[in-house]
Chain A
Amino acid sequence: MKKEEELIEEKLKKNIFLTTVDAAYNWGRKSSVWPVSFGLACCAIEMISAAAARYDFSRFGMEIMRASPRQADLMIVAGTVTQKMAPAVLRIYNQIPEPKYVLAMGACATGGGPFPSYAVLQGIDEILPVDVYVPGCPPRPEALIHGFMKLHDEIMEQSIKTVSWYQKDQAQ
């Protein structure tokens, strides 16, 4: 017959799990990053392929490509950003509520790609804060998913004590 104290200790071991708020909170956030559903050029085809059955990024809780930026967390800039499209891309970004992340997919979104031209913005990082760059022309779905893993790492490293969007006096 075990003592009462031993019994309680056993129960505690089976039912109580210690962690930090950041780890639990960030794990929840990184496991449901919803991207905005939009693509600009041929990279979008690879992005669609990454979302479809074979590569299937719903494995990471990303299955819902939101049609409205107001319901999304992540913006995958998939393709060439022309000077004419740039204000619209900026506008979509501005409509995403915090916390928000930007993934520059492919050579064009990263730095203009093969278009050093009057018509093409030379890299989306000129107007948006980019979190992950995925090189390639276009990147394969595996590369895009690797980019997601890097984004997950970044999310896991954040802390609600320091991120701007969780502070009381955050800038509007």
Chain B
Amino acid sequence: MTNEEILANLKGKYPDAVVDVPELIDFTVVVKPETLLDVAVFLRDECGLDYVADVTAVDRPEWFEMVYHLYSIKDQTPEPFVLKVYLEDKQNPVLASVTPLWLGADFQECEVYDLMGITFEGHPDLKRILLWDGFPGHPLRKDFENKTYTFKQLETTRPKHSAS
């Protein structure tokens, strides 16, 4: 099934879900955040997109953008089907987790949670994967100030008994 056919099927099944189909290098479809899980189940079960190669996020001025690169191992699709979601609430970005559908999204959603501060509901074990709990801020956000810290400055944020 080509990406165009997948999009046509998707529009037939969920006419209101698709927000935009921007002209980008990769075939990209933007859907509404609240329809993400339905769309994802449909793409996986009906359209053969059984593999998520990449889960990442972009900090735009007006919204956070979640990006999912989907492939089909079964059909050997050469091009990714890029699924995007815009999260308008920049203060408290929350989205449904796709880890129950694609297990490969597990650590990548943890990374987005860690570095971009987007919370995923329904994730089996959502935790900071690179930095520790208590680290101030989310480094991939545009408003994060990249400054150096001394060991002492971060000591109060670290887990207790991390050094003896």
Residue numbers of A with Cβ under 8 A of B are 83-84, 86-88, 90-91, 94, 112, 116-122, 126-127
B76 within 8 A of A: no
* A94 surroundings in chain B (CB, below 8 A): 163-164
Summarize A's interface: helix, strand, loop or mixed.
loop
Given A91-B164, A119-B131, A126-B151, 20 other A-B residues pairs in contact with their CB atoms under 8 A: A83-B149, A83-B154, A84-B131, A84-B132, A86-B151, A87-B158, A87-B162, A88-B162, A88-B163, A90-B163, A91-B162, A91-B163, A94-B163, A112-B148, A118-B146, A118-B148, A118-B149, A119-B139, A126-B150, A127-B151
1/0 per residue, CB under 8 A from A, across B128-164: the answer is 0011100001010000101111110010001000111
Contact check: which of B144, B146, B151 meets A121 at CB < 8 Å?
Answer: B151
Q: Which residue of A lies closest to B145 (CB)?
A: A118
Complex A-B: 6 CB contacts under 8 Å? A94-B164, A116-B148, A117-B146, A118-B144, A118-B149, A120-B148
Q: Which of the listed residues A116, A119, A122, A126 has the most CB atoms from chain B within 10 Å of its own CB?
A: A119
Residue numbers of B with Cβ under 8 A of A are 130-132, 137, 139, 144, 146-151, 154, 158, 162-164
Contact check: which of B139, B151, B162, B164 meets A118 at CB < 8 Å?
Answer: B139
